[in-house]
Structure 1
């Protein structure tokens, strides 16, 4: 409730500031305010419709897609609030002058409808941001009703403040207000980053970095005031995962530094590019170190294994592996083609299959019902002991199938099976019956295959988790380094242009324009 109250107050105040300033401007100039109010009400209705439409659209989706949409909404909300905090930190002190200048320009076009359009666009902009931000916060809230009441209360207070500014009964230090509220909103947005990452995992989009870090259930017991503050307001769950903690700090720390770094410590305009280039270099170096130093996580797998009943199997090659069997089960080497990705024992492996001819074993040419029962463990289907008493004439053919399962250039499992086809005639059969009998010639022991499959699965899991540290985090650091370097390069070019235009003027510091705080009352 507290989070949505502050969001409603902050976002609502941004909108009503524009409306109150424009309304006061129209009043001073004796112009009808009716077109402006029509624009305001139209914009409000559109924004409410957008919020309701997004919620209805989400509820109509399957569960996994709902989680994905909530993740997207959370990301958009974080982008909106970040841009809003940055813009307001830069423009809050001159907001009234800027709005009145735009109002004067609109009035110069000769109609109050231009000012109505200005108010309409301002409400639309802030309303869209508010709808998305509140929707993301409501989705992460433990109580939708309480959060909704908080949002409405915040908007109502913003409207009252706006009316006070319009009538001149309220004076508000915009710089201080937006500075204090920005601290809170940065923490809320960091919580939305964390929530969006969890929703993305539940949607199946993010599978790495899901190890549990700390248990915060002692800090925020369910149903307690602390839980309402930590989980409900700041969006921090009792079981944060690795990627969520990284995302939380990656957003929170830079935003706090950028927004609230003391003015006295900020570098001058001439030194700012050097600072940015230095930070970009440090980020790039960290990305390289992580990419090189973090191991892949997969352990080497043996290429050979003992066989049951006797002998040893070994594979060589990657794309078209060759299998050799030595010892008691020695056979001709087999080369495989066209492996198929599959799972075996919970591990992701490649299955290779090669079929061939096989010499039929010494089998009798005549079989009784007892012989068939001994061979197949029961009387085969299609043969009736009363109508087909036997004995039967038996014709035998044989083929072999050799299958091997590999992973990470090593051997997981292998076996060779002889498929015998038995054709029965006579013995009371009206037509011939065809039966198959499979016999395993050799195989890797089950215990060995299970142990290797478990090792592959564990290695793949570890490799996936390490991908966060050796690929995705270096990529994020690299992108941040490039963007910061481009910003520094742009600042350098701006300084050179300024120096070329005014060679005798000293370069102003980046903090000189931000040393005054102004209070506004709209008259």
Structure 2
């Protein structure tokens, strides 16, 4: 969980820092630093609101636990979190190049309209989004114990790392390749999302919400394969394997705990878990390929429009020169010449 908490907090906190940093930098550049305090007011309110959402959500989760329905709520959280992670990855990969210009345009409109409330609300909303997403993701990776995730070393380290990276971006002398940052972190977040989906399928099968197309002769859900000999999911599974076979697995169960939490690893997945895991990667690959194709077509269209505009400008210039030349070579003026005398 700590690794998941680190990656989620690192990514979400850095996105918030990046957005706020762009706004502050723009205000300073155009000589409107007097608005900075309103930006920070909005950010502070958003942080407080995010903590409030965390407390409220935790109470809801605890309420479902007392009713014996927490597992069903957990299924929903896992599925929705996987969807939100996927959306965030796709959205940021599409928007990160245009983020600065779009934010600056919005801020310019706010400055034109005037009003400190508008600036506070804008800063509040862009920060609150990241905070609420973090709360939701933490609920998913911790089986509903949000406070445990927030207090983990992973979350604290992720927040610190995001702060350091933010300083390097806005105060450092070297340029940070943000595109590379988002691509690398997106790969890990895709793995986390796939793991969340697999966990959701596993919980549903444990609760008999869904069955399986692949069963044992006794009617139980069968495993596609069993890798306990190679990498057990947990030290308990490792101990059971040693007890039953008298042999040690190749890798320690602690590694399995890490991979299960981080990637959704399963030593003996069901058919549905196996299909869901790899089908998700195919789905994301198709989305990314489609997004790149759309971006490529848009770029090609923009180049064609620029080329056409250039050709039109050249044609207009040529026509203008031709007209000027025609006027210069027109009928000669008779001024100052002798007029024939009539006989």
Q: TM-score, normalised by structure 2?
A: 0.70
Distance 2:103 2:86 in 1: 22
Contact 1:23 1:33 (8 Å CA) reproduced: yes
Q: Which of residues 104, 125, 140 is equivalent to 1:121?
A: 125
- Write the mapping of 1:99-248 to structure 2, written as runs, cut at 5 A: 99-139=103-143, 148-169=152-173, 171-209=175-213, 210-221=221-232, 222-223=234-235, 224=252, 225-248=254-277
Aligned to 1:259: 288
Aligned to 1:36: 39
Distance 2:289 2:188 in 1: 12
- Cα deviation for residue 190 of structure 1 reads 0.2
Aligned to 2:341: none
Aligned to 1:60: 63
* Structure 1 unaligned spans of 5+: 271-494, 507-523
Bigger shift: residues 243-252 or 219-228: 219-228
- Cα deviation for residue 121 of structure 1 reads 0.5
Aligned residues: 273
Distance 2:84 2:117 in 1: 28
Contact 1:12 1:126 (8 Å CA) reproduced: yes
1:7 matched to 2:11? The reply is: no
Contact 2:58 2:144 (8 Å CA) reproduced: no
| Secondary structure in structure 1 of the residue aligned to 2:5 | helix
Distance 1:77 1:236 in 2: 18
Q: TM-score, normalised by structure 1?
A: 0.47
* Structure 2 unaligned spans of 5+: 214-220, 236-251, 310-343
Q: Which has the higher contact order (CA 8 A, sep 6+)?
A: 2
- Give the number of the structure whose alpha-carbon radius of gyration is greater: 1
| Secondary structure in structure 2 of the residue aligned to 1:172 | coil
Bigger shift: residues 27-36 or 130-139: 27-36
Q: 1:125 to 1:170 in 2, by over 3 A?
A: farther
Contact 2:168 2:176 (8 Å CA) reproduced: no
Q: 1:78 to 1:22 in 2, by over 3 A?
A: same
Aligned to 2:21: 20
The structure that is strand-richer by fraction is 1
Distance 1:180 1:72 in 2: 27
Q: 1:51 to 1:205 in 2, by over 3 A?
A: farther
Q: 1:177 to 1:267 in 2, by over 3 A?
A: closer
- Cα deviation for residue 77 of structure 1 reads 0.7
Bigger shift: residues 205-214 or 190-199: 205-214
- Cα deviation for residue 9 of structure 1 reads 0.8
Q: 1:72 to 1:57 in 2, by over 3 A?
A: same
- Give me the CA root mean square deviation: 3.2
- Cα deviation for residue 267 of structure 1 reads 10
Q: Deviations over 1:265-284 (max 9, x none)?
A: 999749xxxxxxxxxxxxxx
Aligned to 1:47: 50
Q: Deviations over 1:233-289 (max 9, x none)?
A: 1122323111111111121222135336896x999749xxxxxxxxxxxxxxxxxxx
Distance 2:296 2:59 in 1: 50
Q: 1:116 to 1:208 in 2, by over 3 A?
A: same
Distance 2:113 2:231 in 1: 58
| Secondary structure in structure 2 of the residue aligned to 1:31 | helix
Distance 1:107 1:5 in 2: 36
Q: 1:55 to 1:165 in 2, by over 3 A?
A: same
Contact 1:140 1:232 (8 Å CA) reproduced: no
